Amino acid sequence: MADHYEVLGVERTATPEDIKKAYRRLARELHPDVNPGAEAQEKFKLVTHAYDVLSDPQQREQYDLGGQGGFGAGFGGFGDIFETFFGAAQRTSGPRSRKERGQDALLRIEVELGDVIFGIKRDLEVDTAVVCGTCEGSCCAPGTQPVTCDICQGTGQIQRSVRSLLGNVMTSSPCGTCRGYGTVIQNPCPTCGGQGRVRARRKVTVDIPAGVETGLRLQLSGQGEVGPAGGANGDLFLEVKVRHHDIFSRNGDDLMATLEVQMTDAILGTSATIDALDGPVTVEVKPGVQSAEVITVKERGVTHLRGSGRGDLRIGVQVVTPTKLDARQQELIKQFAGTRKSAAPTLTHFQQGLFQKLRDRFLGI
């Protein structure tokens, strides 16, 4: 078998650029469209195969070490033969497009608890890839355009016949000059370096629906990075985090809070206007209310994420016993106690703490 370096006419110390130049020169001379003779076709196949081996660093290293493979030129083993017969037949013919779909992007966003009651619209600044404004995705310098590859003649593929245990086999591989595109960009865009896209910040308007919870991901189709050569945008995913609120907490779509009631108000009853997350709410405290009782205000919770309606606002009562009384207040309490039939303290079963009882009642246990 002819030495690949001799076929290309280069030294064994040749650089990748030297190998590429030698191949292009010989390919122009021996290409079937230029030199249709049988001898030229055979030389063209040898030149192409030599270039395929020497232009690949891994294959070149193996070749320099004397590795020729046991299945004939162009094959590294049974897998290559299988690929030749079954894989190559499935490849689509013609050059591949420079345009590719852009990558998806993930962005984390924090919202207030009050924002999720009815939903909110937010404007976000996203660092992403956008179409190059200079070349508008063509990848070429203004006033220029890609030229047809003179090696593959625009097909993006190089065909060659190689010998194997099964005889001569025609194989097809991407052109090493144009990388399978069929065209070569001789004058890349100076702004994007021939990529057709640049990094930039752009504004994205997001509708965050009512009822979202921490960990929920929202998908915005087509709002991700633009692809190479101005290809289709990927998607943007938003991962939501709902910030902690100092007063209100959430259980599903219900909102929960604690209302401190003075002992006298708990005895006589009272009404209180509180500031809920979506406006004031008047709460009626019935006479004789006990700690850990829950007052439910219907339809003042979070809007359901799927479906209509809202959760409830559930307010747990905590009766506050005064700890410091002046002399007159103490006398009044004694007078009040004297009007009631006194009963000695009685030992009874263990009672849960206030917060445990509130939790159980909030959760309906």
Query: What are 94-115's pLDDT values in tens digits?
Result: 788 999 999 999 999 999 999 9
Q: What is the pLDDT of residue 25?
A: 86
Strand spans (E) along the chain: 105-111, 120-131, 147-148, 157-164, 167-174, 183-184, 197-208, 217-220, 236-242, 249-251, 254-262, 270-276, 279-285, 294-297, 313-320
Confidence of residue 74 (pLDDT cuts 50, 70, 90): very low
Torsion on CA atoms 52, 56, 61, 64, rounded to nearest 10: 20
Between 276 and 346, the higher pLDDT residue? 276
Region 137-141: mean pLDDT is 95
* Distance set, CA 41 to CA 45, 176, 247 (Å): 6, 19, 83
Q: What is the pLDDT of residue 310?
A: 93
Q: What is the pLDDT of residue 23?
A: 87
Q: Is 175 one of the annotated binding-site residues?
A: yes
Q: What is the pLDDT of residue 233?
A: 94
pLDDT in tens, 310-365: 999 999 999 998 888 899 988 888 888 788 766 667 665 555 555 566 666 666 65
Q: Is 189 one of the annotated binding-site residues?
A: yes
What is the CATH topology of the domain spanning 4-68? Helix Hairpins (1.10.287)
* Least confident stretch, 72-86, 131-145, 219-233, 316-330: 72-86
Q: Is 178 one of the annotated binding-site residues?
A: yes
Q: What is the pLDDT of residue 313?
A: 95
Q: What is the pLDDT of residue 68?
A: 47
Classify strands 105-111 and 236-242 as parallel, antiparallel or unpaired: parallel
Q: Within the chain, which residue ranges are assigned CATH 1.10.287.110?
A: 4-68
Q: Is 132 one of the annotated binding-site residues?
A: yes
On whether the 249-340+349-362 domain is CATH 3.30.1330.40, my answer is no
Q: What is the pLDDT of residue 316?
A: 92
Q: Within the chain, which residue ranges are assigned CATH 2.60.260.20?
A: 105-146+185-242, 249-340+349-362
Assess contact for 147 and 186: CB atoms under 8 A: yes
Q: What rounded mean pLDDT belongs to the chain?
A: 84
What is the CATH topology of the domain spanning 105-146+185-242? HSP40/DNAj peptide-binding domain (2.60.260)
